[in-house]
Structure 1
Amino acid sequence: MDGTLELRVLRKITLRIVPFIMLLYFIAFIDRVNIGFAALTMNKELGFSPTVFGFGAGIFFLGYFLFEVPSNLILDKVGARIWIARVMITWGLVSGTMAFVQGSTGFYVLRFLLGAAEAGFFPGIILYLSYWFPPRRRAAVTALFMAAAPLSTALGSPVSGALLELHGLLGLAGWQWMFLAEAAPAVILGVVVLFYMTDRPEKATWLADEERAWLVNTMNAERASKAATASHSVWRGLADGRVLALSLVYFGTSAGLYTLGIWSPMIIKQFGLTSLQVGFLNAIPAIVAVLAMVLWARHSDRTGERTWHVVAACLLASVGLVWAGSAATVVPVLLALTLVNIGISAAKPPLWSMPTIFLSGPAAAAGIATINSIGNLGGFVGPAMIGWIKDLTGSFVYGLYFVAVLPALSAILTLALSRAHRKRRVAEPVTRH
């Protein structure tokens, strides 16, 4: 009976929560990286060099870094419904304002403000999932949520490319139409969140009484089982060495992810293609990555193994970045970018299943936000270094080689973290006597 009840509850909460948060992240990721498509025409119109563009695109993550931990702590206090709505409405308004940027200073300021506005969304959703799903289901659910990132590239790239073709309509450039059109859904969905999202299982009136009771008891039992060993306080979450280590692992994957999101349209464009062609070709690697990500996460959940699932994926991304740097025609570049997409996307769900193993409560809110905020600084370093190195050398090659080193270091650090965790587990029984 319990097995049937469990399946019924998990199916209900999955159908209720996952498609909706996927849609939210889909919009978030488009607004975060559509700057890469805007660059196809905006950079020339506004006179932005690769260094200016790379720095401006990456400065988003400095705003993100500064406001992420406090944002996630507020979410844990006031509830996901109100706070996620606030995040979405403010980032939508800032993203739409990007359509009216005039020079590099305004570009830098708005990108920074966009990062500050969006801070807390991603780690907030990761924390939110830990309220609703048992650990054994978390990587698979996280994968479905995170699949929205490559999906937004797959579906958003052709849309962005098509919006660029509206150049001159009502006196606006194509990139201006793109920012306005792609910002509006964030504001609209922010309002929808207020009416649709449920903060905690205890408030889930859309579950039957016995279903809600089973879910509440299951999640309470998980928290109780972690009570002896998990860190609970905010400061313990911030100071835990494993949080810093996972932050650095995430740094390498983020550098790869946002190098792709921000620069891949221009990498493909260099072969003389139109903006619409770039949009469709840029979608191909992301489509493959969605499938790979979900299958890889399911395998990680089924086997209960996290470390090697992160390591193998990071190494694949590193190989793909090196190949992308050395490829001379569009087909090998697309194949290389596909490997990078698969590796970066597949690494993230098993990686995000690690923090809640040793953190709970306010410590989980602070720890997850810390991992995401420090880790996402890779989203500043990767794109900024690509732009700077391209200005120096006139090529993407050495910038891609530089970024390739970062996920490789993530793989090495993940192995070191796993080894340290095993030693800690062995020592724990001795410590308790």
Structure 2
Amino acid sequence: MSAQESAIRKASVRLVPFLCLLYFISYLDRVNIGFAALQMNADVGISAAAYGLGASMFFVGYLLFEVPSNLVMEKVGARRWLARIMITWGLASVAMMFVVGEKSLYAIRFLLGVAEAGFFPAVIVHLSHWFPRANRARVTGLFFIAVPLSSVLGAPVSTALLDYTHGFGGLQGWQWMFLLEGLPAVLIGISCLWYLVDRPAEAKWLTPQEARSLQDVLDREKAETEAQRKYHFLEVFTHPRVVILALVLLLTVSGSYGVGFWMPQIIKLFTTSNMAVGWITSGIYLLSVLGMIGLTRYSDATGQRVAPVAISTAVGGIGFLLCMSHFDSPMIAITGLAIACMGTFSALPVFWTNPSTFLTGTAAAVAIAFINSAAQLSGIAVPWFIGLSREATGGFEMAIGGLGLSLFLASAAILCFKMLGGAAAAAAASRSAKIAP
């Protein structure tokens, strides 16, 4: 085993599980409101539309502070900034137990979004500082597994907390859920300060030869990308390929946020048991984990970064349409939801390998933050839209059809991204200029 391979193996073992744990807790604290709503809405008098708006307020705070947060991260380093993010979002998540009505729900969800802003882009940039391109899709996929895994494990835990802590110590089950699922973020956040290292050259757990070998290949890849063209960070806001990627992600995460915040209530239509809701949700997300593993391995093995995203999002769209058209048949509807989740979540880790193919440094950090924050517009609109649709139509069918359409559009948009890359490469060859492919 070469020094570089040894360094990558050590980094994978040390960093990826820990970062997965961070994202696991992050996503659980973001979407556990979906399970809390099974009790909370009735307890404090929150309507379906108000709940949808409350879920959306997280993304208002997230969107406003995403890019500034990532600029600060580039200055202070991922280690310190991730610690700060986790501690503050843990405290905000715990504060959800004090919701007493619609206004307090909106305010605390907004603060949770502000606290978490910058977390995901910081991790993506951090991974690019540790893993060469050839390993990046698989490593990113392993990190992304934390999203569906948070529901595989978190769904039955959250519903169990709702049922078995209800009334204990004078608190409702949903209040205990927010308390017990928010505190781990604070504790893990503190541990980031001593556990994480910003770059291989600073890692004491690598031998000098391993650190030098890995840092050299990362520096060489960065230089190769910048030799094609080095973008100023302000250029990324109008770069056509960055804008297309933002659109692709916006359309794709519409599906993930739709199911993330509303799937427990959709499944509850088919069963009277909160625990059954938890276990069905867990099984659906388990399929998404398997899909992520398979698609990222295929992407790294073939070097394909666009086609897997196009196919996966199209499959997700088919799943949503299957659910919508068979809502009167619980088994088929739930199967459709499972296919939709697998297609949606499997596309995300491969998608995030694309920005680093033509951007580096601060430009890459800002682009990733911009793409991610622009996509959070769907987080603002989708939960609220589903709530309004539910109140207007009395069901979820129209909203689910809309989610399917968004994934079909995402599939078409990522193909446009590939066409733009091909056009840029052709232009570069024709005038012998070094422009990003």
TM-score when scaled to structure 2?
Answer: 0.97
Amino acid corresponding to residue 113 of structure 2 in structure 1: G
Contact 1:255 1:380 (8 Å CA) reproduced:
no
Within 5 Å, give how 1:49-198 maps onto structure 2.
Answer: 49-165=47-163, 166-198=165-197
Residue 33 of structure 1, CA deviation: 0.1
Amino acid corresponding to residue 263 of structure 1 in structure 2: W
Q: Distance in 1 between matches of 2:143 and 2:271?
A: 35
Amino acid corresponding to residue 346 of structure 1 in structure 2: S
Residue 429 of structure 1, CA deviation: 2.2
State the partner residue of 1:350: 350
Residue 323 of structure 1, CA deviation: 1.7
Amino acid corresponding to residue 77 of structure 1 in structure 2: K
State the partner residue of 2:372: 372
Q: Deviations over 1:137-187 (max 9, x none)?
A: 111100000000000000000000000011111111110000000001000
Contact 1:72 1:369 (8 Å CA) reproduced:
yes
Residue 357 of structure 1, CA deviation: 0.6
SS at match of 1:226: helix
Q: Distance in 2 between matches of 1:393 and 1:229?
A: 53
Amino acid corresponding to residue 241 of structure 2 in structure 1: R
Aligned residue among 17, 36, 39 for 2:37: 39
Q: How many residues in Structure 1 have an aligned counterpart in Structure 2?
A: 431
SS at match of 2:129: helix
Contact 1:233 1:361 (8 Å CA) reproduced:
no
Residue 15 of structure 1, CA deviation: 0.4
Residue 227 of structure 1, CA deviation: 1.5
Contact 2:34 2:262 (8 Å CA) reproduced:
yes
Contact 1:68 1:120 (8 Å CA) reproduced:
yes
Q: Distance in 2 between matches of 1:231 and 1:24?
A: 32
Q: Distance in 2 between matches of 1:420 and 1:243?
A: 11
Within 5 Å, give how 1:317-332 maps onto structure 2.
Answer: 317-326=316-325, 327-332=327-332
Q: Distance in 2 between matches of 1:272 and 1:416?
A: 42
SS at match of 1:26: helix
RMSD: 1.1
Matched, 1:363 2:374: no
Q: Distance in 1 between matches of 2:330 and 2:112?
A: 32
Give unpaired runs (5+ residues) of structure 1: none
Give unpaired runs (5+ residues) of structure 2: none
Q: Distance in 2 between matches of 1:62 and 1:126?
A: 21
Residue 391 of structure 1, CA deviation: 0.6
Contact 2:241 2:420 (8 Å CA) reproduced:
no
Contact 2:244 2:416 (8 Å CA) reproduced:
no
Q: Deviations over 1:67-119 (max 9, x none)?
A: 00111111111001110000000000001000011111110111111111100
Tell me which stretches of 4 or more aligned residues in structure 1 moved more than 6 Å: none
Residue 28 of structure 1, CA deviation: 0.2
Matched, 1:307 2:309: no
SS at match of 2:271: coil
Contact 1:232 1:361 (8 Å CA) reproduced:
no
Q: Deviations over 1:37-79 (max 9, x none)?
A: 0011111111111111111101211111110011111111100
Q: Distance in 2 between matches of 1:221 and 1:161?
A: 49
Q: Distance in 1 between matches of 2:112 and 2:394?
A: 29
Q: Distance in 1 between matches of 2:229 and 2:162?
A: 50
Q: Deviations over 1:122-149 (max 9, x none)?
A: 1110010000000111111000000000
